[in-house]
Protein backbone atom coordinates (compact mmCIF):
# COMPACT_ATOMS: atom_id res chain seq x y z
CA UNK A 1 0.00 0.00 0.00
CA UNK A 2 1.25 3.49 -0.86
CA UNK A 3 2.94 5.24 2.05
CA UNK A 4 3.64 2.01 3.92
CA UNK A 5 7.16 1.40 5.08
CA UNK A 6 8.95 -0.96 7.38
CA UNK A 7 10.21 -0.02 10.81
CA UNK A 8 12.51 -2.42 12.64
CA UNK A 9 12.54 -2.00 16.42
CA UNK A 10 15.20 -3.93 18.32
CA UNK A 11 15.09 -6.56 15.59
CA UNK A 12 11.28 -6.76 15.42
CA UNK A 13 9.65 -5.68 12.16
CA UNK A 14 6.42 -3.65 11.96
CA UNK A 15 4.62 -2.14 9.01
CA UNK A 16 4.12 1.59 9.43
CA UNK A 17 2.97 4.64 7.56
CA UNK A 18 5.21 7.45 6.40
CA UNK A 19 4.68 10.42 8.67
CA UNK A 20 3.88 8.38 11.79
CA UNK A 21 6.00 9.00 14.85
CA UNK A 22 8.27 6.12 15.74
CA UNK A 23 6.37 5.75 19.00
CA UNK A 24 2.95 5.55 17.30
CA UNK A 25 4.26 3.19 14.65
CA UNK A 26 5.66 0.92 17.33
CA UNK A 27 2.45 0.97 19.37
CA UNK A 28 0.33 0.24 16.28
CA UNK A 29 2.59 -2.69 15.47
CA UNK A 30 2.58 -4.07 19.00
CA UNK A 31 6.15 -2.96 19.81
CA UNK A 32 6.26 -0.74 22.86
CA UNK A 33 8.99 1.86 22.94
CA UNK A 34 9.53 3.03 26.55
CA UNK A 35 7.96 6.46 26.96
CA UNK A 36 6.44 8.78 29.54
CA UNK A 37 5.23 12.25 28.48
CA UNK A 38 4.79 11.44 24.75
CA UNK A 39 5.32 15.12 24.05
CA UNK A 40 9.06 15.59 23.76
CA UNK A 41 9.63 16.64 27.36
CA UNK A 42 11.12 13.77 29.31
CA UNK A 43 13.64 12.09 26.99
CA UNK A 44 12.46 8.65 28.09
CA UNK A 45 11.73 7.59 24.49
CA UNK A 46 15.15 8.39 23.04
CA UNK A 47 16.17 5.69 20.53
CA UNK A 48 19.18 5.09 18.32
CA UNK A 49 18.80 5.26 14.55
CA UNK A 50 20.73 2.25 13.33
CA UNK A 51 19.93 2.81 9.65
CA UNK A 52 17.45 4.74 7.56
CA UNK A 53 16.34 8.34 7.76
CA UNK A 54 13.65 10.07 9.82
CA UNK A 55 12.34 13.57 10.25
CA UNK A 56 13.94 14.07 13.67
CA UNK A 57 11.76 17.12 14.55
CA UNK A 58 14.85 18.80 15.97
CA UNK A 59 15.39 16.11 18.60
CA UNK A 60 18.54 14.53 17.23
CA UNK A 61 21.56 14.11 19.49
CA UNK A 62 24.27 12.13 17.73
CA UNK A 63 22.55 9.10 16.26
CA UNK A 64 19.58 9.31 18.63
CA UNK A 65 16.13 10.92 18.32
CA UNK A 66 12.98 11.13 20.42
CA UNK A 67 10.58 8.44 19.25
CA UNK A 68 7.52 10.45 20.29
CA UNK A 69 8.53 13.32 17.99
CA UNK A 70 10.56 11.86 15.13
CA UNK A 71 8.53 10.78 12.09
CA UNK A 72 9.15 8.03 9.61
CA UNK A 73 10.19 8.98 6.10
CA UNK A 74 11.75 5.73 4.88
CA UNK A 75 12.55 2.20 6.01
CA UNK A 76 14.29 2.62 9.34
CA UNK A 77 15.99 0.42 11.89
CA UNK A 78 16.01 1.67 15.47
CA UNK A 79 17.32 0.35 18.77
CA UNK A 80 16.81 1.21 22.41
CA UNK A 81 18.00 -0.14 25.73
CA UNK A 82 15.50 -2.53 27.22
CA UNK A 83 14.18 -1.19 30.51
CA UNK A 84 11.88 -2.67 33.15
CA UNK A 85 8.16 -2.27 32.47
CA UNK A 86 6.43 0.67 34.08
CA UNK A 87 4.28 -0.61 36.95
CA UNK A 88 2.33 0.70 39.94
CA UNK A 89 3.16 -0.25 43.47
CA UNK A 90 1.98 0.70 46.93
CA UNK A 91 3.76 0.79 50.25
CA UNK A 92 4.45 2.91 53.30
CA UNK A 93 7.12 5.26 54.50
CA UNK A 94 9.53 3.33 56.68
CA UNK A 95 11.74 6.19 57.84
CA UNK A 96 12.68 9.80 57.24
CA UNK A 97 16.24 10.58 58.31
CA UNK A 98 17.93 13.98 58.14
CA UNK A 99 21.15 13.81 56.12
CA UNK A 100 21.74 17.56 56.32
CA UNK A 101 19.67 20.50 57.60
CA UNK A 102 17.95 20.56 54.18
CA UNK A 103 18.17 17.03 52.79
CA UNK A 104 16.37 13.96 54.09
CA UNK A 105 16.69 10.30 53.27
CA UNK A 106 13.26 8.75 52.85
CA UNK A 107 12.91 4.97 52.85
CA UNK A 108 9.72 3.52 51.39
CA UNK A 109 8.86 -0.13 51.97
CA UNK A 110 6.91 -1.55 49.02
CA UNK A 111 4.54 -4.47 49.25
CA UNK A 112 6.01 -5.80 46.02
CA UNK A 113 9.34 -4.99 44.41
CA UNK A 114 9.56 -2.37 41.68
CA UNK A 115 12.36 -3.14 39.23
CA UNK A 116 14.37 -0.20 37.91
CA UNK A 117 17.80 0.50 36.48
CA UNK A 118 20.32 2.52 38.53
CA UNK A 119 19.70 6.17 37.65
CA UNK A 120 16.03 5.86 36.62
CA UNK A 121 13.32 7.72 38.50
CA UNK A 122 9.83 6.93 39.76
CA UNK A 123 6.69 8.97 40.43
CA UNK A 124 5.82 9.02 44.12
CA UNK A 125 2.52 10.12 45.70
CA UNK A 126 2.48 10.36 49.48
CA UNK A 127 -1.04 9.99 50.89
CA UNK A 128 -3.30 12.84 49.83
CA UNK A 129 -0.54 14.82 48.13
CA UNK A 130 0.33 15.47 44.49
CA UNK A 131 2.91 13.15 42.91
CA UNK A 132 6.58 14.01 42.66
CA UNK A 133 9.43 12.45 40.70
CA UNK A 134 12.34 11.06 42.70
CA UNK A 135 15.30 8.85 41.87
CA UNK A 136 15.74 5.72 43.99
CA UNK A 137 19.24 5.54 45.37
CA UNK A 138 21.19 3.70 48.03
CA UNK A 139 22.23 4.62 51.51
CA UNK A 140 25.65 6.19 51.87
CA UNK A 141 27.13 2.78 52.68
CA UNK A 142 25.55 1.26 49.58
CA UNK A 143 22.91 -0.71 51.44
CA UNK A 144 19.28 -1.13 50.37
CA UNK A 145 16.75 -3.96 50.23
CA UNK A 146 15.00 -5.20 47.10
CA UNK A 147 11.57 -4.09 48.25
CA UNK A 148 12.82 -0.70 49.47
CA UNK A 149 13.05 2.57 47.64
CA UNK A 150 15.51 5.02 49.19
CA UNK A 151 15.24 8.66 48.17
CA UNK A 152 17.41 11.66 48.96
CA UNK A 153 15.13 14.70 48.89
CA UNK A 154 15.76 18.36 49.50
CA UNK A 155 13.09 20.04 51.61
CA UNK A 156 12.20 22.96 49.39
CA UNK A 157 10.97 26.06 51.20
CA UNK A 158 7.48 26.89 49.97
CA UNK A 159 6.98 23.49 48.39
CA UNK A 160 3.76 21.51 48.66
CA UNK A 161 5.24 18.11 49.49
CA UNK A 162 8.89 18.18 50.54
CA UNK A 163 8.49 20.47 53.62
CA UNK A 164 6.14 17.83 55.03
CA UNK A 165 8.83 15.14 55.03
CA UNK A 166 9.61 14.23 58.59
CA UNK A 167 6.38 15.85 59.79
CA UNK A 168 3.06 15.00 58.16
CA UNK A 169 4.96 12.51 55.99
CA UNK A 170 6.61 10.03 58.31
CA UNK A 171 6.74 6.34 59.22
CA UNK A 172 3.49 4.67 58.25
CA UNK A 173 2.41 7.23 55.63
CA UNK A 174 0.85 5.45 52.65
CA UNK A 175 2.70 5.78 49.35
CA UNK A 176 1.82 5.03 45.73
CA UNK A 177 4.68 4.64 43.28
CA UNK A 178 4.68 4.45 39.49
CA UNK A 179 7.64 3.80 37.22
CA UNK A 180 10.41 3.46 36.38
CA UNK A 181 11.05 6.29 33.93
CA UNK A 182 14.08 8.01 32.52
CA UNK A 183 17.03 7.21 30.34
CA UNK A 184 19.97 8.45 32.44
CA UNK A 185 20.67 4.99 33.79
CA UNK A 186 23.80 2.90 34.03
CA UNK A 187 24.83 1.07 30.88
CA UNK A 188 27.83 -1.20 30.52
CA UNK A 189 30.48 0.30 28.27
CA UNK A 190 34.12 0.36 27.36
CA UNK A 191 34.96 4.08 27.26
CA UNK A 192 35.42 6.22 30.34
CA UNK A 193 32.31 6.93 32.42
CA UNK A 194 32.08 10.46 33.81
CA UNK A 195 29.38 11.05 36.45
CA UNK A 196 28.62 14.64 37.37
CA UNK A 197 26.13 15.66 40.06
CA UNK A 198 25.07 18.62 42.12
CA UNK A 199 22.95 18.64 45.27
CA UNK A 200 20.45 15.79 45.48
CA UNK A 201 21.37 14.91 41.91
CA UNK A 202 23.75 12.72 43.87
CA UNK A 203 20.88 10.25 44.37
CA UNK A 204 20.83 8.90 40.79
CA UNK A 205 24.54 9.64 40.32
CA UNK A 206 25.46 7.45 43.31
CA UNK A 207 23.29 4.65 41.96
CA UNK A 208 24.96 4.88 38.54
CA UNK A 209 28.53 5.18 39.85
CA UNK A 210 28.11 2.31 42.30
CA UNK A 211 26.57 0.08 39.63
CA UNK A 212 29.54 0.80 37.38
CA UNK A 213 32.08 -0.09 40.06
CA UNK A 214 30.30 -3.33 40.86
CA UNK A 215 29.46 -4.41 37.31
CA UNK A 216 32.52 -3.16 35.40
CA UNK A 217 35.31 -2.58 37.93
CA UNK A 218 37.96 -2.20 35.24
CA UNK A 219 36.20 0.69 33.51
CA UNK A 220 37.63 4.18 34.02
CA UNK A 221 35.28 6.09 36.27
CA UNK A 222 35.44 9.78 37.13
CA UNK A 223 32.91 11.13 39.63
CA UNK A 224 32.45 14.82 40.32
CA UNK A 225 29.87 15.79 42.91
CA UNK A 226 29.20 18.87 44.94
CA UNK A 227 26.80 21.28 46.54
CA UNK A 228 26.56 25.00 47.07
CA UNK A 229 26.54 24.90 50.85
CA UNK A 230 29.26 22.99 52.70
CA UNK A 231 26.67 21.48 55.04
CA UNK A 232 25.00 19.77 52.06
CA UNK A 233 28.09 17.76 51.07
CA UNK A 234 26.42 14.60 52.29
CA UNK A 235 27.98 12.47 49.56
CA UNK A 236 31.39 12.15 51.24
CA UNK A 237 31.01 8.55 52.54
CA UNK A 238 29.82 7.34 49.14
CA UNK A 239 32.68 9.13 47.41
CA UNK A 240 35.08 7.43 49.83
CA UNK A 241 33.61 4.06 48.81
CA UNK A 242 34.18 4.86 45.14
CA UNK A 243 37.69 6.22 45.74
CA UNK A 244 38.66 3.08 47.62
CA UNK A 245 37.67 1.10 44.53
CA UNK A 246 39.78 3.04 42.08
CA UNK A 247 37.45 5.77 40.89
CA UNK A 248 38.76 9.29 40.41
CA UNK A 249 36.63 11.34 42.77
CA UNK A 250 36.28 15.12 43.05
CA UNK A 251 34.18 16.90 45.68
CA UNK A 252 33.20 20.48 44.91
CA UNK A 253 31.58 23.35 46.80
CA UNK A 254 30.35 26.39 44.90
CA UNK A 255 29.37 28.50 47.92
CA UNK A 256 31.38 30.52 50.37
CA UNK A 257 34.01 28.92 52.57
CA UNK A 258 34.43 25.55 50.83
CA UNK A 259 35.89 22.96 53.20
CA UNK A 260 39.47 21.77 52.75
CA UNK A 261 38.47 18.52 51.06
CA UNK A 262 36.32 20.26 48.42
CA UNK A 263 37.43 22.16 45.35
CA UNK A 264 35.84 25.59 45.04
CA UNK A 265 33.31 26.16 42.27
CA UNK A 266 30.67 24.14 40.46
CA UNK A 267 31.28 20.58 39.29
CA UNK A 268 31.52 21.79 35.68
CA UNK A 269 34.65 23.74 36.59
CA UNK A 270 36.40 20.48 37.41
CA UNK A 271 35.32 18.30 34.50
CA UNK A 272 38.17 16.47 32.82
CA UNK A 273 38.73 17.15 29.12
CA UNK A 274 35.99 15.10 27.48
CA UNK A 275 36.38 13.11 24.29
CA UNK A 276 34.13 11.22 21.90
CA UNK A 277 34.66 7.87 23.62
CA UNK A 278 33.36 9.16 26.96
CA UNK A 279 29.92 8.51 28.35
CA UNK A 280 28.68 11.25 30.67
CA UNK A 281 25.81 10.91 33.14
CA UNK A 282 24.78 14.11 34.86
CA UNK A 283 22.06 14.95 37.37
CA UNK A 284 21.11 17.89 39.52
CA UNK A 285 20.43 21.56 38.96
CA UNK A 286 19.17 22.32 35.44
CA UNK A 287 21.86 24.94 34.89
CA UNK A 288 24.68 22.58 35.84
CA UNK A 289 23.21 19.73 33.82
CA UNK A 290 22.75 21.95 30.76
CA UNK A 291 26.35 23.11 31.00
CA UNK A 292 27.58 19.51 31.17
CA UNK A 293 25.40 18.59 28.19
CA UNK A 294 26.85 21.50 26.28
CA UNK A 295 30.43 20.46 27.01
CA UNK A 296 29.71 16.82 26.24
CA UNK A 297 28.07 17.74 22.93
CA UNK A 298 31.05 19.91 22.03
CA UNK A 299 33.39 16.95 22.67
CA UNK A 300 31.18 14.44 20.84
CA UNK A 301 30.69 12.47 24.06
CA UNK A 302 27.52 10.52 24.74
CA UNK A 303 25.57 12.27 27.48
CA UNK A 304 22.58 11.18 29.55
CA UNK A 305 21.08 14.02 31.52
CA UNK A 306 18.70 14.19 34.46
CA UNK A 307 17.93 17.81 35.34
CA UNK A 308 15.96 18.35 38.55
CA UNK A 309 13.22 20.93 38.26
CA UNK A 310 11.38 22.28 41.29
CA UNK A 311 7.64 21.71 41.07
CA UNK A 312 6.81 25.27 41.99
CA UNK A 313 8.78 26.46 39.00
CA UNK A 314 7.62 23.78 36.59
CA UNK A 315 5.45 25.29 33.91
CA UNK A 316 3.06 23.61 31.52
CA UNK A 317 4.52 21.37 28.87
CA UNK A 318 6.33 23.41 26.30
CA UNK A 319 7.04 26.36 28.59
CA UNK A 320 10.42 26.71 30.20
CA UNK A 321 10.60 30.16 31.70
CA UNK A 322 13.73 29.42 33.73
CA UNK A 323 15.85 28.25 30.85
CA UNK A 324 19.28 29.79 30.61
CA UNK A 325 21.52 30.09 27.59
CA UNK A 326 22.73 26.51 27.77
CA UNK A 327 19.22 25.16 28.12
CA UNK A 328 17.92 27.27 25.25
CA UNK A 329 20.85 26.07 23.18
CA UNK A 330 20.09 22.47 24.04
CA UNK A 331 16.42 22.96 23.32
CA UNK A 332 17.36 24.14 19.88
CA UNK A 333 19.77 21.31 19.16
CA UNK A 334 17.87 18.52 20.84
CA UNK A 335 14.33 19.51 21.71
CA UNK A 336 15.09 18.21 25.22
CA UNK A 337 13.61 20.82 27.52
CA UNK A 338 13.25 18.91 30.73
CA UNK A 339 13.50 15.38 31.85
CA UNK A 340 10.62 15.17 34.23
CA UNK A 341 8.03 17.13 36.07
CA UNK A 342 7.53 18.26 39.62
CA UNK A 343 10.85 16.99 40.79
CA UNK A 344 11.71 18.57 44.08
CA UNK A 345 9.10 20.43 46.00
Interface with ligand FES by CB under 6 A: which residues? 35-38, 40-45, 66, 68
Cα–Cα distance for residue pair 155/160, rounded to 1 Å = 10
Least distance from C-beta 41 to ligand FES, angstroms?
Answer: 5
Nearer to ligand FES among residue 40 and residue 199 (C-beta):
40
Least distance from C-beta 272 to ligand FES, angstroms?
Answer: 29
Residues 6+ apart with CB under 8 A from 232: 100, 102, 103, 199
Q: What are phi and psi of 10, to 5 degrees?
A: 45, 45
Nearer to ligand FES among residue 285 and residue 334 (C-beta):
334
Burial of 92 (C-beta count, 10 Å sphere; 0-12/13-18/19+): middle
Nearer to ligand FES among residue 68 and residue 195 (C-beta):
68
Least distance from C-beta 138 to ligand FES, angstroms?
Answer: 26
Least distance from C-beta 37 to ligand FES, angstroms?
Answer: 4
Cα–Cα distance for residue pair 147/149, rounded to 1 Å = 7
Cα–Cα distance for residue pair 207/1, rounded to 1 Å = 48
Least distance from C-beta 61 to ligand FES, angstroms?
Answer: 12
Whether omega for the bond prior to residue 180 falls within 30 degrees of 0, making it cis, is: yes
Nearer to ligand FES among residue 9 and residue 45 (C-beta):
45
CA 221 to centroid of chain Cα atoms: 18
Nearer to ligand FES among residue 83 and residue 269 (C-beta):
83
Amino acid sequence: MAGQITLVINGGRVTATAGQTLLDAGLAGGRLIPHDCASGQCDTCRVRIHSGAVDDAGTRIGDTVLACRARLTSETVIEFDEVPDCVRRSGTVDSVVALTPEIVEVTVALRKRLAYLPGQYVRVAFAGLPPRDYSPSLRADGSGELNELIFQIRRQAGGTVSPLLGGQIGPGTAVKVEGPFGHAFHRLGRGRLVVVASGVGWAPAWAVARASRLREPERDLVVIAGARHPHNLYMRPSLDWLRARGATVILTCSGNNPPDDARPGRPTLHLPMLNASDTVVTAGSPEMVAAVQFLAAAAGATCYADPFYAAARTAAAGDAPDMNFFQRFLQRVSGNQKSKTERLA
